[in-house]
A and B are shown apart, each in its own frame.
Chain A
Amino acid sequence: DVKVTQSSRYLVKRTGEKVFLECVQDMDHENMFWYRQDPGLGLRLIYFSYDVKMKEKGDIPEGYSVSREKKERFSLILESASTNQTSMYLCASSLWAPSSGNTIYFGEGSWLTVV
């Protein structure tokens, strides 16, 4: 089974803190993603990566950055946390194969509260 692990399930951080959310997948997937989930808005893509050290902005990248130094690990960074970044963050991964609809697998999510 594919396993996508988000190391922190629940975090409480203060406004202005730098926050790291870590994600590791064990299936040698090329693609990795960070989504944010908010009630009534569904899931919105923050950033994705299709290879080590490669990244592209998603729909809502402002206030976030990412790091992918190793294939299995994709980190989301909040440079200076703000209260409007309180949300559920979901990491996901998939194989890279543009001609087929590869399944995207999700982690359990990280609940971040910024106070």
Chain B
Amino acid sequence: AQSVAQPEDQVNVAEGNPLTVKCTYSVSGNPYLFWYVQYPNRGLQFLLKYITGDNLVKGSYGFEAEFNKSQTSFHLKKPSALVSDSALYFCAVRDGGATNKLIFGTGTLLAVQP
């Protein structure tokens, strides 16, 4: 079965420093991987996805993610964190089969200190 793991419940980083939010996956076949962000009391907003092609995927708000097949990872990164990046981040993998449903990790809370 497809699954993703987010090993860190919370990541703390100072404003201006680079940030990394980790995600590892387990899939059969080719992985379709996604990152979403959730601000307090809001729904999920799509950040970026990896389907095929370049291992470095660029997304919204200056975020990028690196697909690493050998390490089965899809870590989210940003070169310089902003206080406004503080939010809950979810990694997800598309389930197999004909539908498009996603399987989500448990989420990582990113706290950026001024």
Contact = CB atoms under 8 A, between A and B. Distances in A.
Interface of A: 4, 6, 31, 33, 35, 40-45, 48, 50, 56, 58, 90, 92, 94-98, 100-109, 111
B101 A45 contact: yes
B14 interface: no
A111 B41 CA distance: 9
B101 A42 contact: no
Contact of B104 (A6, A42, A56, A100): A42
A42 to B, nearest CB: 4
B97 A109 contact: no
Interface residues of B, number: 25
Nearest 10 Cβ contacts at the A-B interface: A101-B32, A42-B106, A43-B104, A106-B44, A106-B43, A108-B43, A101-B51, A42-B104, A98-B98, A109-B43
B12 interface: no
Contacts of A58: 101
The majority secondary structure among interface residues of chain A is strand
Interface of B: 32, 34, 36, 41-46, 49-51, 90, 94, 97-107
Contacts of A48: 99, 101
Contacts of B45: 106
Contacts of B51: 100-101
A42 B46 CA distance: 16
